[in-house]
Amino acid sequence: MTHPLNNLQPRRTFCGQMAGGIGAIALASLLDQDGCLGDESAGSGILHAPHVPARAKRCIHVFSPGGVSQVDTFDHKPALEKLDGKRLMGKGEIDTFFGKIGVLRKSFYRFQQHGQSGSWVSSLLPHLATCADDLTYFHTLVSRSSSHTPACFQMNTGFTQVGFPSVGSWLSYGLGTLNNELPTFVVLPDPRGLPNGGTSNWSQGFLPAQHQGTAFSTDGKGESIANLKTPTSVSANGRRASLELLSKFNKSFARANPGNDELQARVRSYELAARMQTSIPDVVDFSGETQATRRLYGLDDKDLAPTASNYLLARRLVERGVRFVQVYNGGALGSPRINWDAHEDLVRNHGNQARHLDQPCAALLKDLKQRGLL
């Protein structure tokens, strides 16, 4: 039997091994900051590595609520030229949401093929037509609801009922953040109004609250994020002391209530808000953009600038590591309508909506491409 004293390590060996352990702890901390650590951290998602190597790390989703007419934009139907003015023929009855079935109509716009791909685009979208080779078209999508609000929910969550996580929330939950100074999921509503279903479109559903979309105020009437800016009456030292005191209270409460996900999510949101007080002003400051870039998006057009700004802001957000940015082209309420729901006058409605989409969206595609982000 070996005596325990014979297994004692020399002092130099012990100190050397202890130093190595401290180095390993430091390395783990650095790897965690760079997103290379396998264990979960505050900013990482539950998927430490995707199933396949990812070509894209960030996504911009431009959503046009109201029901864009496919036969007046990207889906060329030559047969409608011959069937214009005739009644729809066939077996069975057509289920209409309301009103009566009208006659068939050809498109109000002229279609042409564009780019090397020969993709069909109507004259309603002349700027996007110049990006035809950078677009992929799906002509097979359908909705399970003819009502706007459930259809918006389906577009964002995959379900027509409220309460399910939006796609941006799933990405935040699964992949985590690329920048601890900014939200993982940002929403840029149309300055003219919110879509049908309002903020439920970017809800986290049953996921932890920290994965909800962060909506920016885009109407130009106040701060980009409400109540983010420190009041002028609060000094820098006072703000720092308040945050330190709040942190102590939160840690004390967390020790007394272990496993409280809602508390952890709220603490993380407060910590992120504190960091955003310095990061957000830089993101929304367009003063460093060239005049050529501003003209490309349409910021020199007084009427177009409020909505065009969202597309430029989307580019600036993904440049800084925001994983998912959602840009809305249209709201729910307004007269005349402020979305693509063309009940009364399609030419007037789609012409107005296309004006707020065509140039800024095409500019975004071109800008991303020239920066190597497309």
214-215 and 185-188: which strand pairing?
parallel
Residue 209 falls inside a structural domain: yes
DSSP state letter for 119: E
Task: Find tokens 């279903």 and name the residue.
Answer: 197
Residue 235 falls inside a structural domain: no
Q: Indicate if the pLDDT at residue 108 is higher than 90.
A: yes
Provide the pLDDT for residue 3.
54
Greatest mean pLDDT among 19-23, 32-36, 114-118 lies in: 114-118
Provide the pLDDT for residue 60.
96
DSSP state letter for 230: P
Greatest mean pLDDT among 146-150, 233-237, 271-275 lies in: 146-150
DSSP state letter for 22: H
Q: Indicate if the pLDDT at residue 113 is higher than 70.
A: yes
Provide the pLDDT for residue 25.
54
Q: pLDDT band at 93, cuts 50/70/90?
A: confident
Q: How does the average pLDDT of the chain come out, rounded?
A: 84
pTM for this model (two decimals): 0.80
Q: Indicate if the pLDDT at residue 135 is higher than 70.
A: yes
What are 29-81's pLDDT values in tens digits? 555 555 444 444 456 677 766 667 777 889 999 999 998 999 999 999 999 99
CA-to-CA dists, residue 169 to 89, 177, 187, 199, 325, angstroms: 44, 11, 11, 13, 11
What is the Cα gyration radius of the chain? 26
Residue 182 main-chain phi, psi, to 5 deg: -135, 160
Residue 23 falls inside a structural domain: no
Does residue 328 contact residue 265 with C-beta atoms inside 8 Å? no
For residue 273, give both structure tokens: 């808000």
Provide the CA 206 distance to its chain's centre, in angstroms. 19
Proportion of the chain above pLDDT 90, given as a percent = 49
324-328 and 59-63: which strand pairing?
parallel
Provide the CA 340 distance to its chain's centre, in angstroms. 20
Length of the chain: 374
What percent of the chain is helix, strand and coil (3-state, nearest 5)?
Answer: 45, 5, 50
Q: Indicate if the pLDDT at residue 309 is higher than 90.
A: yes
Provide the pLDDT for residue 40.
47
Residue 12 falls inside a structural domain: no
Higher pLDDT: 214 or 15? It is: 214
Residue 131 falls inside a structural domain: yes
Q: Which residues, in sequence order, are CB contacts of 128 under 8 Å at separation 6+?
A: 121, 135, 357, 358, 361, 362, 365
Does residue 160 contact residue 150 with C-beta atoms inside 8 Å? yes
Provide the pLDDT for residue 37.
47
Residue 243 falls inside a structural domain: no
Q: Indicate if the pLDDT at residue 336 is higher than 70.
A: yes
Provide the CA 359 distance to its chain's centre, in angstroms. 20
Report the number of distinct structural domains present in the chain: 1
**Range scoring the smallest mean pLDDT among 17-26, 104-113, 313-322, 350-359:** 17-26
Count each helix (H run) and each strand (E run) in the chain, helices first. 10, 6
| Average pLDDT of the residues in 138-147 | 85
| Average pLDDT of the residues in 106-131 | 96
Task: Please give the Cα distance from 241 to 237 (Å, whole number).
Answer: 6
Residue 257 falls inside a structural domain: no
Provide the pLDDT for residue 38.
42
Q: Indicate if the pLDDT at residue 10 is higher than 80.
A: no
Q: Indicate if the pLDDT at residue 258 is higher than 70.
A: yes
Residue 35 falls inside a structural domain: no
Task: Please give the Cα distance from 187 to 326 (Å, whole number).
Answer: 5
Greatest mean pLDDT among 39-53, 86-100, 107-121, 147-161 lies in: 107-121
Among candidate residues 62, 284, 43, 70, the one with its CA nearest the CA of residue 173: 43
Provide the pLDDT for residue 199.
92
Q: Indicate if the pLDDT at residue 157 is higher than 80.
A: yes
- The answer to whether the peptide bond before residue 336 is cis (omega within 30 degrees of 0) is yes
CATH code where residue 353 lies: 3.40.720
- Burial string for 120-138 (b: 16+ CB within 10 Å, else e) reads bbbebbebbbebbeeeeee
Task: Please give the Cα distance from 178 to 279 (Å, whole number).
Answer: 14
Domain that holds residue 66: 59-86+100-224+284-370
For residue 26, give both structure tokens: 């430091």
